[in-house]
Amino acid sequence: MFDTKIDFLYLSEEDTIKAGVTDMNGCVDCMEEMFKILGRGDYKMAGQNGNSHGAMVTFPENPPFPNMPKDGPDRRFMAMPAYLGGSIDLAGMKWYCSNAENRTKGLPRSILMVMLNDKDTGAPLCLMSANLLSAYRTGAVPGVGAKYLAPPGSRVLGVIGPGVMSKTSLSSFVYACPTLDTVRIKGRGKESIDNFIEFAGQYPQLRKIEVVDTMEAACKDADIVTMGTTSAMGIENYPFLEEGWLKPGMLLSAPACVRVSDEFLVKRARKVLENYGLYECWAEDYAYPAYGSVGIIGVRYFDLMHDGLIKREDIIDLGDVINGKVPAREFEGQIVVNSVGGMPVEDLAWGKTVWQNALKKGLGVRLNLWDAPAMR
Protein backbone atom coordinates (compact mmCIF):
# COMPACT_ATOMS: atom_id res chain seq x y z
CA MET A 1 0.00 0.00 0.00
CA PHE A 2 1.18 3.50 -0.82
CA ASP A 3 0.65 6.60 1.32
CA THR A 4 -1.66 8.73 -0.81
CA LYS A 5 -1.72 11.76 1.48
CA ILE A 6 -0.38 14.92 -0.13
CA ASP A 7 0.57 18.00 1.85
CA PHE A 8 2.52 20.95 0.52
CA LEU A 9 4.13 24.04 1.98
CA TYR A 10 2.84 27.56 1.41
CA LEU A 11 5.33 30.42 1.80
CA SER A 12 4.21 34.04 2.05
CA GLU A 13 6.54 36.83 0.95
CA GLU A 14 7.61 37.33 4.57
CA ASP A 15 8.35 33.60 4.84
CA THR A 16 10.55 33.75 1.75
CA ILE A 17 12.48 36.69 3.19
CA LYS A 18 13.16 34.72 6.38
CA ALA A 19 14.19 31.79 4.18
CA GLY A 20 16.85 33.90 2.45
CA VAL A 21 15.25 34.88 -0.86
CA THR A 22 17.15 38.21 -0.73
CA ASP A 23 20.55 36.57 -0.25
CA MET A 24 22.06 37.81 -3.51
CA ASN A 25 25.42 36.11 -3.03
CA GLY A 26 23.71 32.77 -2.57
CA CYS A 27 21.45 33.48 -5.55
CA VAL A 28 24.42 34.22 -7.82
CA ASP A 29 26.02 30.92 -6.79
CA CYS A 30 22.70 29.16 -7.40
CA MET A 31 22.33 30.69 -10.88
CA GLU A 32 25.89 29.69 -11.74
CA GLU A 33 25.04 26.08 -10.87
CA MET A 34 21.82 26.41 -12.90
CA PHE A 35 23.83 27.51 -15.96
CA LYS A 36 26.15 24.52 -15.59
CA ILE A 37 23.13 22.21 -15.64
CA LEU A 38 21.59 24.14 -18.53
CA GLY A 39 24.84 23.92 -20.49
CA ARG A 40 24.74 20.13 -20.17
CA GLY A 41 21.20 20.09 -21.57
CA ASP A 42 19.60 18.57 -18.45
CA TYR A 43 16.40 20.62 -18.53
CA LYS A 44 13.08 21.11 -20.30
CA MET A 45 10.84 24.13 -20.72
CA ALA A 46 7.57 24.54 -22.61
CA GLY A 47 6.97 24.28 -26.35
CA GLN A 48 7.89 21.87 -29.11
CA ASN A 49 11.61 22.50 -28.74
CA GLY A 50 11.52 22.47 -24.93
CA ASN A 51 12.84 26.02 -24.72
CA SER A 52 9.78 28.29 -24.67
CA HIS A 53 9.64 31.17 -22.22
CA GLY A 54 6.03 30.15 -21.52
CA ALA A 55 2.43 30.41 -22.69
CA MET A 56 0.88 33.87 -22.50
CA VAL A 57 -2.68 35.19 -22.57
CA THR A 58 -3.01 38.73 -23.95
CA PHE A 59 -6.10 40.80 -24.60
CA PRO A 60 -7.52 42.78 -27.54
CA GLU A 61 -7.49 46.57 -27.70
CA ASN A 62 -11.27 46.53 -28.13
CA PRO A 63 -12.69 43.50 -26.29
CA PRO A 64 -15.87 42.01 -27.80
CA PHE A 65 -17.29 41.29 -24.33
CA PRO A 66 -17.95 43.84 -21.56
CA ASN A 67 -16.11 41.91 -18.83
CA MET A 68 -13.06 40.96 -20.88
CA PRO A 69 -9.89 42.89 -19.90
CA LYS A 70 -8.63 45.47 -22.35
CA ASP A 71 -5.05 45.44 -23.62
CA GLY A 72 -2.67 47.78 -21.82
CA PRO A 73 0.99 48.12 -20.83
CA ASP A 74 2.33 44.85 -19.39
CA ARG A 75 -1.18 43.37 -19.17
CA ARG A 76 -0.90 39.61 -19.39
CA PHE A 77 -1.25 36.22 -17.75
CA MET A 78 1.60 33.82 -18.36
CA ALA A 79 2.37 30.23 -17.34
CA MET A 80 6.09 29.40 -17.32
CA PRO A 81 6.61 25.65 -16.69
CA ALA A 82 9.96 23.86 -16.59
CA TYR A 83 11.99 20.89 -15.38
CA LEU A 84 15.59 21.31 -14.22
CA GLY A 85 17.78 18.30 -13.52
CA GLY A 86 21.18 17.97 -11.88
CA SER A 87 21.24 19.03 -8.23
CA ILE A 88 17.82 20.74 -8.58
CA ASP A 89 15.85 17.78 -9.99
CA LEU A 90 12.40 19.40 -9.85
CA ALA A 91 9.50 20.34 -12.08
CA GLY A 92 7.40 23.42 -11.49
CA MET A 93 5.98 26.63 -12.85
CA LYS A 94 6.01 30.38 -12.37
CA TRP A 95 2.58 32.00 -12.76
CA TYR A 96 3.15 35.53 -14.05
CA CYS A 97 0.34 38.09 -13.84
CA SER A 98 1.03 41.67 -14.84
CA ASN A 99 -0.72 45.01 -15.35
CA ALA A 100 1.02 48.40 -15.27
CA GLU A 101 -2.18 49.94 -13.85
CA ASN A 102 -1.58 47.99 -10.63
CA ARG A 103 0.65 50.83 -9.45
CA THR A 104 -2.37 53.15 -9.21
CA LYS A 105 -3.75 50.70 -6.63
CA GLY A 106 -0.58 50.53 -4.57
CA LEU A 107 0.38 47.14 -6.03
CA PRO A 108 3.48 46.09 -7.97
CA ARG A 109 3.19 45.84 -11.76
CA SER A 110 3.56 42.06 -11.56
CA ILE A 111 2.14 39.60 -9.05
CA LEU A 112 4.01 36.30 -9.21
CA MET A 113 3.73 32.83 -7.71
CA VAL A 114 5.96 29.77 -8.06
CA MET A 115 4.85 26.16 -7.62
CA LEU A 116 7.41 23.39 -7.14
CA ASN A 117 6.33 19.85 -8.03
CA ASP A 118 7.65 16.31 -7.66
CA LYS A 119 9.13 15.38 -11.04
CA ASP A 120 7.59 11.88 -11.03
CA THR A 121 4.10 12.20 -9.54
CA GLY A 122 3.51 15.89 -10.19
CA ALA A 123 2.47 16.32 -6.56
CA PRO A 124 2.83 19.90 -5.26
CA LEU A 125 5.76 20.42 -2.91
CA CYS A 126 5.70 24.16 -2.30
CA LEU A 127 3.65 27.17 -3.40
CA MET A 128 5.40 30.47 -2.72
CA SER A 129 5.17 34.20 -3.23
CA ALA A 130 7.63 34.93 -6.03
CA ASN A 131 7.97 38.66 -6.63
CA LEU A 132 11.21 38.81 -4.64
CA LEU A 133 12.35 35.41 -5.87
CA SER A 134 11.94 36.53 -9.48
CA ALA A 135 13.57 39.91 -8.88
CA TYR A 136 16.63 38.39 -7.23
CA ARG A 137 17.15 35.60 -9.73
CA THR A 138 16.78 38.19 -12.52
CA GLY A 139 19.46 40.33 -10.90
CA ALA A 140 21.71 37.37 -10.17
CA VAL A 141 21.98 36.26 -13.80
CA PRO A 142 23.86 39.44 -14.88
CA GLY A 143 26.19 38.83 -11.94
CA VAL A 144 27.03 35.36 -13.23
CA GLY A 145 27.61 36.93 -16.63
CA ALA A 146 29.94 39.53 -15.08
CA LYS A 147 31.92 36.85 -13.27
CA TYR A 148 32.80 35.20 -16.59
CA LEU A 149 32.50 38.04 -19.11
CA ALA A 150 33.59 41.28 -17.42
CA PRO A 151 37.25 42.30 -17.82
CA PRO A 152 39.46 41.25 -14.89
CA GLY A 153 39.79 43.92 -12.23
CA SER A 154 36.64 45.77 -13.34
CA ARG A 155 36.22 49.00 -11.36
CA VAL A 156 33.61 51.21 -13.05
CA LEU A 157 29.92 50.34 -13.51
CA GLY A 158 27.58 52.43 -15.64
CA VAL A 159 23.88 52.15 -14.78
CA ILE A 160 21.32 53.30 -17.34
CA GLY A 161 17.86 53.11 -15.78
CA PRO A 162 18.23 52.86 -11.96
CA GLY A 163 15.11 50.81 -11.22
CA VAL A 164 14.53 47.56 -9.32
CA MET A 165 16.28 45.45 -11.96
CA SER A 166 19.39 47.62 -11.77
CA LYS A 167 19.38 47.44 -7.97
CA THR A 168 19.43 43.65 -7.92
CA SER A 169 21.97 43.62 -10.75
CA LEU A 170 24.18 45.96 -8.72
CA SER A 171 24.04 43.55 -5.78
CA SER A 172 25.19 40.69 -7.99
CA PHE A 173 27.92 42.75 -9.67
CA VAL A 174 29.37 43.74 -6.29
CA TYR A 175 29.62 40.05 -5.35
CA ALA A 176 30.89 38.84 -8.73
CA CYS A 177 33.36 41.72 -9.22
CA PRO A 178 34.80 42.67 -5.82
CA THR A 179 37.10 45.28 -7.42
CA LEU A 180 34.14 47.51 -8.42
CA ASP A 181 34.44 50.87 -6.67
CA THR A 182 32.70 53.43 -8.92
CA VAL A 183 29.08 53.70 -10.13
CA ARG A 184 27.76 56.21 -12.65
CA ILE A 185 23.98 56.58 -12.84
CA LYS A 186 21.82 57.89 -15.68
CA GLY A 187 18.15 58.02 -14.76
CA ARG A 188 14.99 59.85 -15.79
CA GLY A 189 13.66 61.02 -12.44
CA LYS A 190 15.09 62.24 -9.15
CA GLU A 191 13.13 59.77 -7.05
CA SER A 192 14.48 56.66 -8.80
CA ILE A 193 18.02 58.07 -8.79
CA ASP A 194 17.87 58.93 -5.07
CA ASN A 195 16.45 55.48 -4.26
CA PHE A 196 19.26 53.84 -6.19
CA ILE A 197 21.93 55.93 -4.44
CA GLU A 198 20.46 54.98 -1.06
CA PHE A 199 20.45 51.31 -2.10
CA ALA A 200 24.05 51.47 -3.33
CA GLY A 201 25.13 52.99 -0.02
CA GLN A 202 24.97 49.59 1.66
CA TYR A 203 28.11 48.50 -0.23
CA PRO A 204 31.23 50.08 1.32
CA GLN A 205 33.42 48.97 -1.61
CA LEU A 206 31.56 51.54 -3.79
CA ARG A 207 33.63 54.57 -2.88
CA LYS A 208 32.35 56.83 -5.67
CA ILE A 209 28.72 57.18 -6.81
CA GLU A 210 28.06 59.78 -9.51
CA VAL A 211 24.88 61.00 -11.23
CA VAL A 212 25.37 61.88 -14.90
CA ASP A 213 23.11 63.57 -17.45
CA THR A 214 23.66 61.39 -20.52
CA MET A 215 24.02 57.77 -21.47
CA GLU A 216 27.38 58.61 -23.01
CA ALA A 217 28.62 59.87 -19.65
CA ALA A 218 27.36 56.70 -17.93
CA CYS A 219 29.33 54.60 -20.42
CA LYS A 220 32.56 56.61 -20.22
CA ASP A 221 35.46 54.39 -19.09
CA ALA A 222 32.97 51.84 -17.70
CA ASP A 223 34.11 48.24 -17.45
CA ILE A 224 30.46 47.14 -17.19
CA VAL A 225 27.34 48.95 -18.40
CA THR A 226 23.96 47.58 -17.35
CA MET A 227 20.64 48.49 -18.94
CA GLY A 228 17.54 48.83 -16.76
CA THR A 229 15.33 51.12 -18.82
CA THR A 230 11.70 50.49 -19.69
CA SER A 231 10.66 51.26 -23.26
CA ALA A 232 7.63 50.89 -25.47
CA MET A 233 7.95 48.05 -27.97
CA GLY A 234 9.43 49.03 -31.31
CA ILE A 235 13.07 49.26 -32.32
CA GLU A 236 12.88 53.03 -32.65
CA ASN A 237 11.95 53.29 -28.94
CA TYR A 238 14.91 51.36 -27.53
CA PRO A 239 17.79 53.44 -26.07
CA PHE A 240 20.75 53.56 -28.49
CA LEU A 241 24.38 53.29 -27.41
CA GLU A 242 27.13 54.44 -29.75
CA GLU A 243 30.01 51.99 -30.12
CA GLY A 244 32.42 54.86 -29.53
CA TRP A 245 31.04 55.31 -26.02
CA LEU A 246 32.00 51.76 -25.05
CA LYS A 247 35.42 50.98 -23.60
CA PRO A 248 37.39 48.25 -25.43
CA GLY A 249 37.01 44.91 -23.64
CA MET A 250 34.01 46.03 -21.57
CA LEU A 251 30.80 44.10 -20.84
CA LEU A 252 27.39 45.41 -21.91
CA SER A 253 24.84 43.63 -19.71
CA ALA A 254 21.37 43.82 -21.25
CA PRO A 255 18.47 42.55 -19.12
CA ALA A 256 16.37 45.40 -20.59
CA CYS A 257 15.91 47.11 -23.96
CA VAL A 258 19.03 48.46 -25.65
CA ARG A 259 20.09 49.09 -29.23
CA VAL A 260 23.55 49.25 -30.82
CA SER A 261 24.56 49.41 -34.47
CA ASP A 262 24.16 46.27 -36.53
CA GLU A 263 27.66 46.75 -37.95
CA PHE A 264 29.09 46.62 -34.42
CA LEU A 265 27.09 43.51 -33.54
CA VAL A 266 28.00 41.74 -36.77
CA LYS A 267 31.68 42.58 -37.06
CA ARG A 268 33.11 43.24 -33.62
CA ALA A 269 30.92 42.31 -30.63
CA ARG A 270 30.97 38.98 -28.79
CA LYS A 271 27.31 37.95 -28.82
CA VAL A 272 26.32 36.05 -25.65
CA LEU A 273 22.93 34.93 -24.32
CA GLU A 274 21.60 32.56 -21.65
CA ASN A 275 20.18 29.84 -23.87
CA TYR A 276 20.18 29.65 -27.66
CA GLY A 277 16.97 27.61 -27.73
CA LEU A 278 15.02 30.24 -25.78
CA TYR A 279 15.78 32.92 -28.37
CA GLU A 280 15.22 30.51 -31.22
CA CYS A 281 11.73 29.98 -29.83
CA TRP A 282 11.09 33.73 -29.70
CA ALA A 283 12.27 34.03 -33.30
CA GLU A 284 9.78 31.32 -34.30
CA ASP A 285 6.88 32.79 -32.31
CA TYR A 286 7.18 36.39 -33.54
CA ALA A 287 7.22 37.64 -37.10
CA TYR A 288 10.56 38.82 -38.47
CA PRO A 289 12.01 41.18 -37.39
CA ALA A 290 11.19 39.78 -33.95
CA TYR A 291 13.34 42.38 -32.17
CA GLY A 292 10.55 44.92 -32.65
CA SER A 293 8.19 42.73 -30.60
CA VAL A 294 10.65 41.31 -28.06
CA GLY A 295 12.98 44.10 -26.99
CA ILE A 296 15.84 41.88 -25.83
CA ILE A 297 19.02 42.32 -27.81
CA GLY A 298 19.61 38.60 -28.20
CA VAL A 299 16.52 38.53 -30.39
CA ARG A 300 18.35 40.96 -32.67
CA TYR A 301 21.09 38.37 -33.05
CA PHE A 302 18.51 36.08 -34.64
CA ASP A 303 17.22 38.80 -36.96
CA LEU A 304 20.80 39.29 -38.16
CA MET A 305 21.19 35.55 -38.65
CA HIS A 306 17.93 35.57 -40.64
CA ASP A 307 19.50 38.22 -42.88
CA GLY A 308 22.59 36.06 -43.42
CA LEU A 309 24.86 38.57 -41.66
CA ILE A 310 25.98 36.23 -38.88
CA LYS A 311 26.11 32.44 -38.39
CA ARG A 312 24.92 30.11 -35.65
CA GLU A 313 28.44 29.76 -34.27
CA ASP A 314 28.65 33.52 -33.79
CA ILE A 315 26.07 33.33 -30.96
CA ILE A 316 27.44 32.01 -27.66
CA ASP A 317 25.61 30.43 -24.71
CA LEU A 318 26.74 31.65 -21.29
CA GLY A 319 26.58 28.06 -20.05
CA ASP A 320 29.16 27.06 -22.63
CA VAL A 321 31.51 29.77 -21.35
CA ILE A 322 30.99 28.60 -17.75
CA ASN A 323 31.55 24.95 -18.69
CA GLY A 324 34.74 25.87 -20.56
CA LYS A 325 33.49 24.96 -24.03
CA VAL A 326 34.11 28.40 -25.56
CA PRO A 327 36.19 31.43 -24.50
CA ALA A 328 34.58 34.62 -23.22
CA ARG A 329 36.35 36.62 -25.95
CA GLU A 330 37.78 35.84 -29.35
CA PHE A 331 40.45 38.55 -29.08
CA GLU A 332 41.80 41.01 -26.53
CA GLY A 333 39.71 44.14 -26.20
CA GLN A 334 36.56 42.59 -27.69
CA ILE A 335 33.35 44.07 -26.28
CA VAL A 336 30.89 41.48 -24.96
CA VAL A 337 27.12 42.00 -25.28
CA ASN A 338 25.33 39.72 -22.82
CA SER A 339 21.59 39.37 -23.49
CA VAL A 340 19.42 38.44 -20.48
CA GLY A 341 15.85 37.32 -21.15
CA GLY A 342 14.86 35.19 -18.14
CA MET A 343 13.80 31.55 -17.89
CA PRO A 344 11.58 29.52 -15.54
CA VAL A 345 14.47 27.13 -14.81
CA GLU A 346 16.01 30.04 -12.90
CA ASP A 347 12.89 30.30 -10.73
CA LEU A 348 13.00 26.56 -10.03
CA ALA A 349 16.65 26.68 -8.98
CA TRP A 350 16.30 29.59 -6.56
CA GLY A 351 12.83 28.42 -5.50
CA LYS A 352 14.23 25.06 -4.39
CA THR A 353 16.88 26.78 -2.28
CA VAL A 354 14.27 29.00 -0.60
CA TRP A 355 11.95 26.03 -0.03
CA GLN A 356 14.72 23.91 1.51
CA ASN A 357 15.74 26.77 3.79
CA ALA A 358 12.11 27.22 4.86
CA LEU A 359 11.86 23.53 5.76
CA LYS A 360 15.00 23.73 7.89
CA LYS A 361 13.69 26.82 9.71
CA GLY A 362 10.13 25.56 10.16
CA LEU A 363 8.65 28.40 8.10
CA GLY A 364 5.40 28.52 6.17
CA VAL A 365 2.04 26.83 6.46
CA ARG A 366 1.39 23.18 5.65
CA LEU A 367 -1.66 22.75 3.42
CA ASN A 368 -3.44 19.53 2.65
CA LEU A 369 -4.37 18.62 -0.92
CA TRP A 370 -5.99 15.36 0.15
CA ASP A 371 -5.51 12.39 2.45
CA ALA A 372 -6.69 10.13 -0.35
CA PRO A 373 -7.93 11.23 -3.78
CA ALA A 374 -11.71 11.09 -4.25
CA MET A 375 -11.18 9.81 -7.81
CA ARG A 376 -8.44 7.54 -9.15
For 10-31, what is each residue's pLDDT tens digit?
Answer: 999 999 999 999 999 999 999 9
- Tens-place pLDDT, residues 174-200: 999 999 999 999 999 999 999 999 999
- Tens-place pLDDT, residues 132-147: 999 999 999 999 999 9
pLDDT score, position 74: 85
pLDDT at 271 over 90: yes
Average pLDDT (297-315) is 97
pLDDT score, position 231: 82
pLDDT score, position 1: 61
**What are the structural domains, with CATH classification, of the chain?**
6-134+345-370 (3.30.1780.10), 139-343 (3.40.50.720)
**Crossing angle, helix 344-361 and helix 131-149, to 10 degrees?**
120
pLDDT at 332 over 80: yes
pLDDT score, position 17: 98
Question: Long-range contacts for 204-208 (Cβ within 8 Å, ≥24 apart)?
Answer: 205/174, 205/178, 205/180, 205/181, 206/174, 206/180, 206/181, 206/182, 207/181, 207/182, 208/181, 208/182, 208/183
pLDDT at 68 over 90: yes
pLDDT at 374 over 90: yes
3-state secondary structure 107-169: CCCEEEEEEEECCCCCCEEEEEECHHHHHHHHHHHHHHHHHHHCCCCCCEEEEECCCHHHHHH
pLDDT at 160 over 80: yes
pLDDT at 300 over 90: yes
- Tens-place pLDDT, residues 91-135: 999 999 999 899 899 999 899 999 999 999 999 999 999 999 999
- Tens-place pLDDT, residues 40-49: 999 999 998 8
- Tens-place pLDDT, residues 346-372: 999 999 999 999 999 999 999 999 999
pLDDT at 214 over 70: yes
Q: Which residues in 79-114 are b (16+ Cβ under 10 Å) and which e?
A: ebbbbbbeebebbbbbbbebbeebeeeeeebbebbb
pLDDT at 72 over 70: yes
**Residue type at position 47:** G
**Which of 142, 318, 157, 301 has its CA nearest to residue 223?**
157
pLDDT score, position 215: 98
What whole-number distance in Å separates Cα of residue 258 and Cα of residue 256? 6
3-state secondary structure the chain: CCCCCEEEEEECHHHHHHCCCCCHHHHHHHHHHHHHHHHHCCEEEECCCCCECCEEECCCCCCCCCCCCCCCCCCEEEEEEEEECCCCCEEEEEEEEECHHHHHHCCCCEEEEEEEECCCCCCEEEEEECHHHHHHHHHHHHHHHHHHHCCCCCCEEEEECCCHHHHHHHHHHHHHCCCCCEEEEECCCHHHHHHHHHHHCCCCCCCEEEECCCHHHHHCCCCEEEECCCCCCCHHHCCECCHHHCCCCCEEEECCCCECCHHHHHHCCEEEECCHHHHHHHHHHCCCCHHHCCCCHHHHHHHHHHCCCCCHHHEEEHHHHHCCCCCCCCCCCCCEEEECCCCHHHHHHHHHHHHHHHHHHCCCEEEEEECCCCCC
pLDDT score, position 376: 86
Longest dimension (CA), the chain: 70
Q: What is the mean pLDDT of the chain?
A: 96
